[in-house]
A and B are shown apart, each in its own frame.
Chain A
């Protein structure tokens, strides 16, 4: 056991050493940390409560409201901080749900094979055939849009990629000697799946999950922008851009939509760069395989 722990630490050290080589990812990690901290500490550092009317309608940025005020006089900066919280929450929780579903289905499908594998994979094909955004929009119109429904919908639609990834890994792990040895030794399936196969496929799952967080945040933003996502007065990065569909805001009040849009780009880009560097760091066999 002790031996194992030392090995584990060494592995993490190797990952960190390889990760550090990616300057852009390191920079992204810093940016992401600052944004996440700011979002978490929003109740402390936000100048105003997000729903409080503190100024004129659509006021320009000034010393009192650094990023101006929105159409009904709420402070844009404060709303931006709270919106980031919501967007991050959606990204992380939706990914957690889809990863859980994908891992369970992928493990079962890859390990047991045969008819079960057939059924699960055909079901996966089916879900993947529907255009993703369309499926989410339809689901959002059936179950009223709102924070928790959006998280659940995104989580339940986004698993096929992870399921396929896990299945592929399980199929190749099944051919390894240590798994074969376990099967011959008559170990129970549960033990082989959870204690032998799962730990060996956790790294690619984490890497893939990082990109799913970024994608979920983009989807939440698009949904909320279209008015089918997070509903006002709760602020999300997407619904803060919603107002820019009107021409007056688009042309003459850029402080109402550019900061929220720029923040989405920065968040998604940082997460993507971190994911890319992680992919390179956890997988020593990928020589320059920057996918």
Chain B
């Protein structure tokens, strides 16, 4: 068991190193920061001097290691736009994004698990087809279009919900105020995720329903409710956990778009404004952080998987 976990971490390490290399390569492909300096009033000598202070006269791999060393000291560089350290920019905006992602994930699970189980236990019935069809509708609506429809309905027509920000101006943003601002972004993120998850959970439960131990449970005569909720659901948890792990990068990407539309003050908003301003240190910081979060999430999923499922082979 311990051996498996260590092995899994050893596999993740080269991927982590690879991620930093890809990240750095993208930053290099994006262009040298010197290009921003060049102009009629800046002499060649000044540019060359700046190149030396930034370490750009060194070969690329040396630059990479210098960058990596800075990274290990927690220094992600400085924004070209407002000269703030990237690390603290990310730190202040991480919270709202995690809040949004966490609540959306929770809501999507609360929709998808009952719907998936219902669909599987009523396989090939009208109700099953309705649920599956609805799940396809959920995945087919582009997040931004659903956002626009929701804003049109709840903000413009009904005036019930605020359409931008995390709290109302002038207030400290109490629990209910933030919750009110969260409703629409959460609906958008949860809809597309629940759509995918319903189908995964449905097929996971269908597979388990055909297992011998379920037939035994049924034969014992403990009633359909107990069979499904005690025996089937517990075993279906394993694939469900895996799917959740896979969803995290998708969720993160969805957050970028949704935060942009609802002006939610999270990482996505920072990333998007950095992209339009070509503020590469910030973009790369966000990319690196999200890639590491995703990698960590996958690692934790795999380890959880091994703990939950004793039959897994530790190859």
Binds B, one of A53-61, A92-100, A133-141, A180-188: A133-141
Q: Is A233 part of the contact surface with B, judged by Cβ < 8 Å?
A: no
Residues of chain B within 8 A (CB-CB) of A245 are 261
Q: Which of A127, A129, A265, A290 contacts B142 (CB 8 A)?
A: A265
Complex interface bits, A247-261 against B, C-beta within 8 A gives 1, otherwise 0: 100110010010001
Bound: A238/B132 CA distance, A:
26
- Contact status B19-A126, CB under 8 Å: yes
Tell me the nearest residue of chain B to A136, going by C-beta: B253
Q: Is B161 part of the contact surface with A, judged by Cβ < 8 Å?
A: no
The DSSP consensus for interface residues of chain A is: helix
Q: Which of B145, B152, B276, B283 contacts A241 (CB 8 A)?
A: B145
B285 to chain A, nearest CB (A): 12
Q: Is A159 part of the contact surface with B, judged by Cβ < 8 Å?
A: no
- Contact status A250-B291, CB under 8 Å: no
Asked, given contacts A129-B295, A134-B286, whether A221 binds B142 with beta carbons under 8 Å apart, the answer is yes
Bound: A288/B207 CA distance, A:
10
- Contact status A289-B206, CB under 8 Å: yes
Complex interface bits, B51-86 against A, C-beta within 8 A gives 1, otherwise 0: 000000000000000000000000000000000000
- Contact status A272-B140, CB under 8 Å: yes
Q: Is A111 part of the contact surface with B, judged by Cβ < 8 Å?
A: no
- Contact status A129-B140, CB under 8 Å: no
Q: Which of B14, B261, B278, B287 contacts A122 (CB 8 A)?
A: B14
Asked, given contacts A226-B257, A290-B199, A290-B202, whether A132 binds B142 with beta carbons under 8 Å apart, the answer is no
A interface residues, how many (CB within 8 angstroms): 46
- B15-36 at interface with A (beta carbon < 8 Å): 15, 18-19, 22, 26, 29-31
- Contact status A269-B142, CB under 8 Å: no
- Contact status A122-B203, CB under 8 Å: no
- Contact status B249-A288, CB under 8 Å: no
- Contact status A269-B137, CB under 8 Å: yes
Residues of chain B within 8 A (CB-CB) of A125 are 15, 295, 298
- B168-191 at interface with A (beta carbon < 8 Å): none
Residues of chain A within 8 A (CB-CB) of B250 are 131-132
Bound: A109/B136 CA distance, A:
32
Tell me the nearest residue of chain A to B210, going by C-beta: A287
Q: Is A105 part of the contact surface with B, judged by Cβ < 8 Å?
A: no
Residues of chain A within 8 A (CB-CB) of B29 are 142
Residues of chain A within 8 A (CB-CB) of B30 are 138, 141-142
Q: Is B264 part of the contact surface with A, judged by Cβ < 8 Å?
A: no
Complex interface bits, A128-169 against B, C-beta within 8 A gives 1, otherwise 0: 111111110110011000000000000000000000000000
Minimum-distance CB pairs A-B, first 7: A133-B253, A261-B145, A269-B140, A131-B252, A268-B140, A129-B291, A131-B253
- Chain B positions within 8 Å of A, measured between CB atoms, are 11, 14-15, 18-19, 22, 26, 29-31, 123-124, 129, 132-133, 136-137, 139-145, 148-149, 151-152, 156, 199-200, 202-203, 206-207, 249-250, 252-254, 256-257, 260-261, 271-272, 275-276, 278, 283, 286-287, 290-292, 294-295, 298
Q: Could you list 6 A-B pairs, sorted by A, with CB under 8 Å?
A: A122-B14, A122-B15, A129-B249, A133-B254, A137-B272, A226-B260
